[in-house]
């Protein structure tokens, strides 16, 4: 029995993100995204804002992600995606987080906590894992709100992660989602 269509989409986003990390140098071209305008993402009847986007982050287009950036100075990458009314929306936050790191090995969670986030609870995870044998550090937020799942991910090599993590925290911490324009 195969995966439900919605679960397949989430896995596709996960695999697209991994491919994005490995091929970022080849695809790192700034591309316009029709749903992103005026500092807000407009999708599925939602308006979503995020915190400040660091000037060094270059916008790139990644299939299956609403926003993706390359942090070349730190060899890092950031991803934001929101999906609404999917089959796996009722999964626990920990399971939704596991979907995002599927395919990594030697996972070591530094912290994993449920925290208040945009008026709801989100799972915030800091971890070390190998991606295709390469050690990486991850900063992940997963939020469920009003039938939607929000994923925010920052990943960089361990020796450069701390330099970019504070910028990502400001970006992620500014997330606010509301219905309507």
CA distance 24 to 170: 23
The answer to whether residue 166 is domain-embedded is no
How far is the CA of 163 from the CAs of 39, 45, 155, in angstroms? 24, 35, 12
List the 134-145 sheet strands across, edge first.
58-60, 67-71, 76-84, 148-156, 134-145, 120-131, 105-117
Residue 165 lies in a domain: no
Q: What pTM, to 2 d.p., does this model score?
A: 0.80
pLDDT in tens, 13-72: 444 444 444 433 333 333 333 478 767 898 888 899 999 999 999 999 988 789 999 999
Q: Residues 169-181: what's their mean pLDDT? A: 89
Domain that holds residue 11: 5-160+172-179
End-to-end C-alpha distance for the chain, whole angstroms: 40
User: Does a structural domain hold residue 132?
Assistant: yes
> Domain count of the chain?
1
> CA 68 to CA 58: how far, in whole Å?
8
Domain membership flag for residue 52: yes
Q: What is the CATH number of the domain that holds 148?
A: 3.40.1000.10
What's the mean pLDDT in 97-123? 96
For residue 150, the model assigns a pLDDT of: 95
Q: What is the mean pLDDT of residues 77-82?
A: 95
Say if 106 falls within a structural domain.
Answer: yes
List helix spans (H) across the chain: 5-27, 93-100, 158-173
pLDDT of residue 76: 96
Q: What is the pLDDT of residue 11?
A: 46
Phi-psi region of 160 (alpha: psi -120 to 50; beta: other; left: phi over 0): alpha
Model pLDDT for residues 128-164, shown as the tens digit of each residue: 999 999 999 999 999 999 889 999 999 999 999 999 9
């Amino acid at each position: 029995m195969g995966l439900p269509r919605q679960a397949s989409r989430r896995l596709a986003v996960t695999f697209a993100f991994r491919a994005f990390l490995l091929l970022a140098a080849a695809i790192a071209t700034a591309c316009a995204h029709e749903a992103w305008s005026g500092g807000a993402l407009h999708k599925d009847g939602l308006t979503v804002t995020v915190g400040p986007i660091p000037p060094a982050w270059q916008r790139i287009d990644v299939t299956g992600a609403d926003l993706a950036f390359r942090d070349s100075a730190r060899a890092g990458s950031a991803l934001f995606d929101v999906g609404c009314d999917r089959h796996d929306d009722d999964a626990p936050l920990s399971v939704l987080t596991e979907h995002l790191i599927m395919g990594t090995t030697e996972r070591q969670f530094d912290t994993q906590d449920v925290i208040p986030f945009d008026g709801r609870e989100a799972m915030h995870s800091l971890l070390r894992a190998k991606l295709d044998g390469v050690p990486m550090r991850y900063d992940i937020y997963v939020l469920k709100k009003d039938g939607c799942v929000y994923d925010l991910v920052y990943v960089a090599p361990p020796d450069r992660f701390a330099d970019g993590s504070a910028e990502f925290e400001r970006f992620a911490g500014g997330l606010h989602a509301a219905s309507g324009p």
